[in-house]
Structures are given as C-alpha cells and as structure tokens.
Amino acid sequence: MVSRLDSVCRTVPAAAAEAVTVPELGEMISREVARVVPHDGHILVGMDPVTSVGCFLTTKNSYGPRVVSRMSIDYALGRSSPVRLLVRDTPDRRYGTHLHNMAVEGFDSEIRVELAHDGCVWGVLVLLRERGRTPFSSTDTATAECLAQPLASALKRFVAATPLTSMRSDQPPGLIIVNHRDEITVATPAGRDALRAFTPDRPLTDDELFTSIWNITYRTRRTGGPVVCRVLAPQGWIALHAQLLDGSRLGDIAITTQPASAEVLLPAITAWHDITPRERTVLTQALEGLSAKHIARRLDLSPHTVNDHFKAIYRKIGVTSREELIAHLCH
C-alpha cells in the first residue's frame, strides 16, 4: 500500500496538467485515488485562491444538486476538519440532515478532503461509497489525508496549464437573482448561458444552475458585502459579482456575470502561477501600457532586471512574448 500511495502522490500532479476539461480532471483524480481508496462516486470543487469561493465543480455518481449545495454550506461554516469521515449509521448532530440525505440517496459513507498546500485551500474532494459496500474506514481517511497536498498541487497545475483567456468580450453581461430560499427567481439569457458553461454537455435544471453559485451566495450573505469570484468555464474565465439587494432583509442576492477582465484575473493568476510580488508589480505596470524602460524607472530597477521578471512571468504563464501575454489577459 505504501508504494502504491507513493506512486499516486507522484503521478497525480503531472497527470492533472494533461487534463483538458474539468470533468476530465475529476475522472483522472478519481481514477488515481481509487488505486488506494476505492470509491463509487466523487465531487471535486476547485477554489478561487483569493476569495475561497468555488470556481469549478465536477461530480460523478454523486448526490443531487441541492444536497451538494447543502454540503458546501456545511463546509463553508467550518464544520469540517481538513479530512472528515461520515458514516450513515453513526449519529452526528452536526451532520444529521446530511446523514439523512446520504441514506435517501443511496450512500453509506463519504470522506471529505480539504486540498490545502502552501497555506492556501485550492479545493475540496468528496469520495462516496454506495449502500451495501463496506463503509470507509479510519485507514481510508488517513490515506486520503496523505493525498491532500498532491491533489492540491494537481488542481493548481491543471489551472496553470489552462489557456489564460477570458470568455469572449462580445458576450453581454448576465444577471441572476437568488432569493433567501436559494431559488433562482430571475435570470437573463446571458446569465443562464454563463451558468450553463459549467456543464456544457447536458441541459441543467434551476437546481443544478444554483449548484454552480451556491458558495458565492453564502459568502455574500455571511460577509454582507460584495463578493467576486473568477470561474473557469470551457469558453474561458468568467467573473461573478454578487451583492445583497438593497432593502432585502432576507438575503436576496443579485449576481452579475461577465468576461473576467485582466484586473479581476490578476490576483488569482498570481496564486495559480506562483508569480512573486515583484513580478506582479511589473505585470501590473505592463497592463497599464508602460514600456519596460518606464517600468524600470518607476520601480527604480534596471531594465535588465525588469526583462528578467518578464521572462519569469512568460515561463510561468506559458507565453513567449509581452504581446501574447497582454492578448491573453485583455482578450
């Protein structure tokens, strides 16, 4: 088992960079993890490293969308430790409703793993076993905990390998209104199209559409202020902006969708691509249209140092020139 676990820890980050879509990433991670923790279904959530809001989601043989949303709120409330084992026949007041839902939907146990590395939570993986199977054990939980850092690296490498482009700029902004019961009451066609981008291979019900935005609605209610999230869709990066409606005491929320601008993407890009604070400063100046010479003067650096920073940025983001970099960020 130890050698097999070591093998999974080594291979999963590299394999993630080869995945093209989020469902492919979920399938690859599930397949590799199954070598050491067999399971029947999975939920994989990638987190925006700046706001800790879900930025992509994929599931297979999992709960219905409302249960996934409820689970996510449980997680956001801090009710989970970094690795949590839940077994249907083990009473737990904190998870009573979810344990009931687990039974209703045909599962006996689940393991939730917080995918954290370098002081940042990059995502959450949930593994499921169906009714009739031997429930997950403490040994399975310990094995899953060993996988947390390699899986976090896998999510990070997947996003870093994804082309850095936003959704087409000719797409109109969208609007979604979510009421206090977490029901979508109003949605423009552009808003629905943006949410459907999460799962482009099949039609989505309103419940499934809400699953795409569960976390940002909860964060908005919890903080009381605007929340921004960068979302990875097949067409490129989308920005979600959520805020409470004026005069809504019950927590109704307006969410706008639009192509993610360079300014919105930059904080997350810094984290996903390991860009240093100095490199980010240089990149910010470049996005303002300054030449390398002017950047050097403003930052009191030599032109040679500025060019070295640009080379490091190109390497990390996967472009070959400043023109290509700006074209990707300002698409």
| Structural domain spans, the chain | 2-161, 174-263, 275-329
- Residue 126 φ then ψ, to 5°: -115, 125
Report CA-CA distances (Å) from 206 to 5, 161, 183, 237, 252: 40, 31, 8, 22, 16
Res 166: pLDDT: 62
Whole-model pTM: value is: 0.86
Q: Considering the chain, what percentage of its residues have pLDDT values greater than 90?
A: 37
Record the tokens describing residue 271, joined without a space.
């984290």
The CB density around residue 327, as the number of other CB atoms within 10 Å, is: 13
Residue 19 has pLDDT above 90, yes or no: no
Confidence of residue 246 (pLDDT cuts 50, 70, 90): confident
The CATH classification number of 275-329 equals 1.10.10.10
Q: How many C-beta atoms surround the C-beta of residue 52 within 10 A? A: 15
- CATH architecture label of 2-161: 2-Layer Sandwich (3.30)
* DSSP annotation of 152: H
Q: Is the pLDDT of residue 90 over 80?
A: no
What does CATH list as the number for 174-263? Answer: 3.30.450.20
Whether residue 157 has pLDDT greater than 80? yes
Question: Per residue in 49-86, pLDDT tens?
Answer: 888 888 888 889 998 877 887 776 555 544 456 888 88
196 contacts 231 by C-beta, under 8 angstroms: no
Measured in whole angstroms, the distance separating CA 176 from the mean position of its chain's CA atoms is 20
Least confident of 162-176, 199-213, 288-302: 199-213
Query: CA distances (Å), 251 to each of 188, 223, 302, in order?
Result: 20, 11, 52
Q: Which of 51-65, 83-97, 110-124, 251-265 has the lowest mean pLDDT?
A: 83-97
DSSP string, 82-108: SEEEEETTS--GGGHHHHHHHHHTTEE
- Under 8 Å between Cβ of 267 and 239: no
> What three-state secondary structure class fits 237?
strand
pLDDT tens digits along 25-53: 999 999 999 999 999 999 998 988 888 88
Q: Is the pLDDT of residue 247 over 50?
A: yes
State the residue for tokens 């996005």. 287
Contact 252, 178 (CB under 8 A): yes
Fold equal for 2-161 and 275-329 = no
pLDDT single digits (tens) 166-199: 666 667 889 999 998 888 889 998 888 887 766 6
Mean pLDDT calculated for residue range 120-149: 93
Long-range residue pairs from 320-326, CB within 8 A, at least 24 positions apart, any chain? 322/286, 325/283, 325/286, 326/286, 326/287
* SS3 of residue 53 by DSSP: coil
